[in-house]
Amino acid sequence: MQANQEKPCAYLLFLDGRPISYLYFPVNEGVVTYDYLGFDPDYSSLSPGTVLHVLALEALFAERRFTLLDFTAGEGQHKELFSTANCLCADIYVINRSVTSASLVLLHCTMDKTSSILGRAFEKLHIKTKARRLLRGIR
């Protein structure tokens, strides 16, 4: 933990004594950052991540010690549902002009495009979840 960081906030949601979802928020100078949410896929029909998110927000508001909840960059249904404002953000990279840099950028773009194409193809073939589990070593 860095000097300007406060103790993080972490939450677990239990159902019948079994943990089914977790949520972790680091805190830095009064700003809570939405960082990690996970849930047991066996309970996905109950939306445990959303339930835990609502309960965590209630607990955070009740403490009255935080100034802001940062959902971080990117899109997500939870951000649209729970946010009160947004701002544009970007990752900006300054790259020196060279053959090596151009090759690396081109390689990155090619890999990104290939990943997107494969993802859509796996989705159409209804094997995306199976492929993801295989790549992650989950049976």
In angstroms, the Cα distances linking 56 to 12, 13, 65, 130 are 9, 10, 14, 32
DSSP codes, 99-123: HHHHHHHHHHHHHHHHHHHHHHHHH
Residue 45: per-residue pLDDT: 93
- Residue 119 tokens read as 């993802």
Among 12, 30, 34, smallest CA distance to 78 is for: 34
Residue 58: per-residue pLDDT: 92
Residue 48: per-residue pLDDT: 94
Query: Average pLDDT of each block of 10 consecutive residues along the chain (139 residues)?
Result: 71 96 92 90 91 92 87 80 82 90 94 93 87 78
d(CA 124, CA 133): 17
Residue 3: per-residue pLDDT: 52
Helix (H, G, I), strand (E, B) or coil at 43: helix
